[in-house]
A = this chain, B = another copy of it.
Amino acid sequence: MPLERIVDAAISLVDEQGAEALSMRSLAKRLDSGTATLYRHFGSRAQLVDHVVDAVLGGIDLDGGAAAPSATWQQSCATAAHAMFDTLARHPNVATLLTERIPVGSNAMRQREFMINTLLAAGFDPALAARAYATLARYVLGFAIQIGASAGAESLPSPADAPPGRHPATAAVAAYLPVPLASEFGFGLDLILEGLTGLLARTADRSGRQAP
């Protein structure tokens, strides 16, 4: 029983029936096998989930737009972040699994290397590059986790449910809520990258003034 066959079956199961349908029993049945066989390949259900998540993250193509030589560092970061978000959005039920296990597979490591390399090349010093990467990664992950949740029900509670007169400000903007998650994601990502651009400029100014 090749490991890849198990992982592929698990992804199909989650795509079709949701993250909560991925049990060792249901997966074993889909493979015409028993649960004990699965435990010959994975020490626990958590390890299986790690493989499922990393297999999906492997579908991200960094060598496309994100790594284009003509791209600015902001474009590279934005493209990489969107690629990860979009890939998980294509598997919303797999995204839900991110709440169980934070990615630790080799594809997640590849993503990390790409982003940190981009930031260092842009001129961020190592300490700031680490902070910038951490915030970006956490931002993407935080939104990705909520893809699954917002897929089923309305993402955030609809303002229509609010008591009539008690929430006037909410009522005033109710026509514009809820904002689609993908739109929120891009909006906030641009704000963060704009903030980082300002931060980098101030850092460069200071070191420029000190050195010569």
Smallest Cβ-Cβ distance to A142: which chain B residue: B142
Of A5-13, A26-34, A59-67, A131-139, the one touching chain B: A131-139
For the complex, would chain A's binding face be called helix, strand, loop or mixed by DSSP majority? helix
Total A residues in contact with B, Cβ cutoff 8 Å:
60
* A126 located at the interface, meaning its Cβ lies under 8 Å from any Cβ of chain B in the complex: yes
Within 90-138 of A, Cβ neighbours of B (below 8 Å) are at 99, 102-104, 108-109, 112-113, 116-117, 120, 126-127, 129-131, 133-135, 137-138
How far in angstroms is the closest Cβ of chain B from A102? 6
Q: Is the CB of B99 within 8 A of A129?
A: no
- With a cutoff of 8 Å between Cβ atoms, the chain B residues found around residue A129 in the complex are 173, 176
How far in angstroms is the closest Cβ of chain B from A173? 4
- With a cutoff of 8 Å between Cβ atoms, the chain B residues found around residue A167 in the complex are 109, 112-113
- Which of A102, A155, A195 has the most chain B CB atoms closer than 10 A to its own CB? A195
Hey, what's the 0/1 contact readout for A158-172 against B, CB within 8 Å counting as 1? 000110001111101
- With a cutoff of 8 Å between Cβ atoms, the chain B residues found around residue A192 in the complex are 188, 191-192, 195
* A42 located at the interface, meaning its Cβ lies under 8 Å from any Cβ of chain B in the complex: no
Q: Is the CB of B162 within 8 A of A131?
A: no
Bound state CA distance, A183 and B134, in angstroms? 10
Within 159-212 of A, Cβ neighbours of B (below 8 Å) are at 161-162, 166-170, 172-173, 175-179, 181, 183-184, 187-188, 190-192, 194-196, 198-199
Q: Is the CB of B135 within 8 A of A169?
A: no
- With a cutoff of 8 Å between Cβ atoms, the chain B residues found around residue A139 in the complex are 139, 142, 188
Can you list 18 residue pairs at the A/B interface with Cβ under 8 Å? A99-B145, A99-B149, A102-B150, A102-B153, A109-B170, A112-B167, A113-B169, A120-B169, A126-B172, A129-B173, A131-B179, A131-B183, A134-B156, A135-B179, A139-B142, A141-B146, A188-B192, A194-B194
